[in-house]
Structure formats: structure tokens, C-alpha cells
Structure 1
Amino acid sequence: MITELFTSGSLRQYRRRHKNIDIKAIKNWARQILQGLNCLHSQKPPILHRDLKCDNIFVNGYRKIKIGDLGLAIIMQKPTAQSVIGTLEFIAPELYKEEYNELVNIYSFGMCIL
């Protein structure tokens, strides 16, 4: 298997190394993350990442973003999923009700941007 090299590491690592990040770069990254989520959610059936966090968003040497670590992802066979899984700080409240859809990834995205 061949994978892309992300020399800047995860978004969390990048933020630790670079304290002052241009707002233009943050907006660009936000757009790229949403495009990646749109790609996952547009699949038939949709794919839920379920563990989107700054450690699972990677930055390459050209400051391009990729979503990685799909180990907890599921393919939505039903309209809602039913297991609580993910990283506590980034999981949407509806996961605790154990009936959720792809919007949980959008909540996690918002937590990453904060």
C-alpha cells in the first residue's frame, strides 16, 4: 500500500508548531475539511467518520488538508447509526441518544475549528 506523505503532521501538531496562523489559511482548511466530509456523505450509502478531530486531519507540505484515520467510520446501511463511539471532546450530543446520522461529523468539524 502506498499512502500520501503529510510532512506537516496532523492539524493539532501543526497548530502547536505555528502559533499564529493566518485567518485566510484557516478558512481554506475549513473549506477543504467540509469538501472531504461532503465526499464521504455523498457516497451511496453515506460514510460516517465518527472520530473527526484535529489529530485525524492532516496537513501536507503545501498546506493541503486530508481527512484520515477512518478506523471508526461506518457505512450507513440504515437512516441512523446506533453506537456511541469517538473522542469525547469532539462527539455530538446526539450520539448519546444512540440514533444519529452524518450531521455528527459536522458537529465534530465545528469543534475542530474552535
Structure 2
Amino acid sequence: MTNLTWSRGELTLLKNCPACKHHIDYEPIYKRGDDEKLMPEEWHIYNCFYCKSFFVNPRPSENSLPALYRDYLTHKPVQREAVFTSSSIFWKLVRGYLSKQLDIRFDQKSLAIGGFVA
């Protein structure tokens, strides 16, 4: 991967699809700018020929990704979902599953067996 820059940090240029790892030997399906005009960049959106996943390339590097959302909220805060707040056994199992499969950490208690039950 090659590092480039954008207005808020570094970009990472992908040579392979991030999902299936096939070589990117096709053009982006479209280019998209920022609707709010907060960033001057034009983003290239790809649709992998092999696995059909969509991705941005180049994309903000891991270190500069938080800068993308520094002053750019995509939605207003809403009521917290039950998965984050409920103390029921069901949601403890769900949190256990999400923790195991996606490495998500929760403030509420999780049951690790949820990662194996599902």
C-alpha cells in the first residue's frame, strides 16, 4: 500500500479489494465530492468485480480517519439501543456474540458464551 495525502492527513492507496483481496484492475464506478463542502477531495468509489463489495480508494489512513468526522456529523444522536443498555439475558448473549465476532467492547455486562451459541 502506498501513502498519499489529503486535506486532513494521509491516504492509503489500495492495490487489492479490502474484502476479497483480488487485484484492483478496474476503474471506479463513480467519483463523489463532499456535499457539505467541508473537504475539497473527490472520493473514488469502487465496486469489486469479484465479490461485489463497495469501497473508497484511496481512502483515509487508519491514523487520519478520525479527522474525517472531526466536524462532520452524519446524524444526530438518538436514543441508545437495547443492545447497549438492556440487562436481559438475550442482550447479554448478543453482546457476547458481537464482542467475540467483531471485537466490540460494551459498558454493560456481556456473556462470552453468546459468541459460541450463535
TM-score over 0.5 (shorter chain):
no
In terms of fraction of residues, the more strand-rich structure is: 2
In terms of fraction of residues, the more helix-rich structure is: 1
TM-score normalised by L of structure 2: 0.23
TM-score normalised by L of structure 1: 0.23
- Bigger RCO of structures 1 and 2 (CA < 8 A, at least 6 apart): 1
